[in-house]
Amino acid sequence: MKVITAYCNLSADECLLNGDVVARRDAGSEDSWFKQIYRQQGLGYPKFYKMDGLSQAGYLASELIKKASPGISNTYTDDEIALVFANASSSAETDRRFMQTYEAGGSPSPSLFVYTLPNIVLGEIAIANKWYGENMFAVLPKFAPGFYLDYGQILLGSGSRALLCGWLEVTANTTDVFLFLVEERESGTEFNTENLLHLSQATSVATF
């Protein structure tokens, strides 16, 4: 059966891996929230600093998923892990910033321009891991489990053996990130609508 073997939730002030808090935002820090996680997790990938918020969030959550499932890079060949991501705001945040670079009288910034598509985050994750499998980024009105289930079924029936899926909504006012890994197992948290809805809403008890 297809099961969710790891998942990561990232909100504006906390980061959870498999339901456990792995980082909390330090409001007094001069570092951005994503930089705080990057440092706390001891990650060493300087390209992180070049990424826009969407790509930083996807990179961080995928690295955390790998920490929870360290075997994924050895278990699958480089084209057997498919990436299936979605969000509602596309790359609007970076689009706006890019627009400002030339509207403010300067010149368009090439380093921002390269992030003016939402699927760039998939490329960043693929490059960081040397994964060459299928990938898709959809822009949807809201988190829709059916999208991952339907498209995932097609991918798993056509050569992919694992899915790294994600809802990645990152704007100036919103950080709503949910990444999850789907693999074949004899038992576990089944890859279905109910579980996806439940896990996507995971927050720490301490926040209530």
Partner 1 sequence: MDSLKQDLKKQIIEQLNLEDLSVEDIADDALLFNDQGLGLDSIDALELIVLLEKYHGIQLTNPEEGKEAFKSINTMAEYINKRKAA
- Interacting residues with partner 1 (CB under 8 A): 31-32, 34-35, 45-50, 56, 97, 107, 109-112, 114
CB of 26 vs partner 1, minimal distance in Å: 15
CB of 48 vs partner 1, minimal distance in Å: 8
Please answer whether residues 175 and 10 qualify as being in contact, where contact means their C-beta atoms are separated by less than 8 angstroms: yes
CB of 103 vs partner 1, minimal distance in Å: 15
Closest CA to 69 of 180, 199, 186: 180
CB of 47 vs partner 1, minimal distance in Å: 4
Helix locations, the chain, DSSP H:
33-40, 53-68, 72-75, 92-103, 110-113, 120-129, 145-156, 193-200
Closer CB to partner 1, residue 101 or residue 195? 101
Report the 10 Å Cβ neighbour count for 34. Answer: 21
Closer CB to partner 1, residue 31 or residue 79? 31
Indicate the SS3 state at residue 171.
coil
Closer CB to partner 1, residue 18 or residue 56? 56
Closer CB to partner 1, residue 69 or residue 109? 109
**Residue located via tokens 């992919």:** 160
